[in-house]
Structure 1
Amino acid sequence: MRFALQCYVDEDLHALVKAAADAAHMSVSQWLKLTVIEALQEPQDEAFRDQVLADLLFTKIALDGWLRTHKDKELRDRVVIAYQRRIREYRERKAFKPEGR
């Protein structure tokens, strides 16, 4: 079953929406439907990102605590150096990567 959603907008907004739909090779209806769906899903994506970041922070703190108390007192320093090297290499590769790839 399908339901209609309707609202009235001024001429400027209509022109902007129509231009966006045309640029996407869609009808205004299709473009609006996808835009509304995306807008409603965004908060869920943000909540997911927040949870992932919280989990990563917990893992970082737990691992750092474990490394600090490990019997090999130099292990943490070696891990930090390896991390710094790899993150630097990653950033260098990313900086030289052409846009769109």
Structure 2
Amino acid sequence: MNFVKIDRFAPSSKTCGKCGYIYKGLKLSERSWTCPKCGTHHERDFNAACNIKEFGLKALPAERGKVKPADCPTVDDRPCVLKSRGRKKQEKRGGTGISEAAKSLA
């Protein structure tokens, strides 16, 4: 597995994941926003995560060879830690998975 570090000041929350518009006026208190250029609605944290992945992939060399992005678990694929009689037990979460909007970005 490879580790790619992106610039800590990269505008991951402020960049539209669809058209690339950078919304410079986005406040930290705003948890969602709509791109004024293409009209796409974004949930701040999910949009930032998608952008961070893209920024990292763009930072990789053009000739990757055997380098490939690691598969990241979706929200429902993460283990849920349950406490049972003082022991920790992991259980896979169920549910329908990520939203349709999230699937379209994948």
> TM-score band, normalised by the shorter chain?
under 0.3
Higher RCO, 1 or 2 (CA under 8 Å, sep at least 6)?
A: 2
Structure holding more helix per residue: 1
Structure 1 or 2, whichever has the larger Rg, is 1
Using the size of structure 2 for normalisation, the TM-score is: 0.25
TM-score of the two chains, using structure 1 as the length reference: 0.26
